[in-house]
């Protein structure tokens, strides 16, 4: 699969051209560069990481010793 690194200009264009807010949120939280350009306040909450995310309302369990 061909991959291409987007320039800052292309990344911003892609962000602005998202059709829905959900698309925009997903792109934003996937891109540290976008997070340094646009405020998190424009977006929905950050999705929990797939692994190692704390359970809602709780503290992540530490490995036993």
| Spacing of C-alpha 20 from chain mean position | 15
Residues 20-59 that bind another protein (CB under 8 A): 35-42
Binding part of the chain for another protein, among 4-12, 46-54, 55-63 by CB under 8 A, reads 4-12
Q: Are 52 and 60 in contact (CB under 8 A)?
A: yes
Q: Which is nearer to another protein, 12 or 26 (CB)?
A: 12
Half-sphere exposure of 29 (CA within 13 A, CB side): 14
Our finding on whether 16 is near another protein (CB under 8 A) is yes
Which stretches of the chain bind another protein, using CB under 8 A?
8-9, 12-13, 16, 19, 35-42
């Amino acid at each position: 699969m061909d991959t291409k690194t987007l320039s800052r200009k292309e990344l911003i264009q892609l962000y602005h051209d998202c059709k829905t807010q959900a698309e925009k949120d997903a792109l934003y939280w996937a891109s540290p560069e976008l997070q340094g350009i646009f405020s998190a306040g424009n977006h929905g909450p950050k999705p929990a990481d797939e692994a190692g995310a704390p359970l809602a309302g709780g503290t992540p369990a530490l490995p036993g010793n």
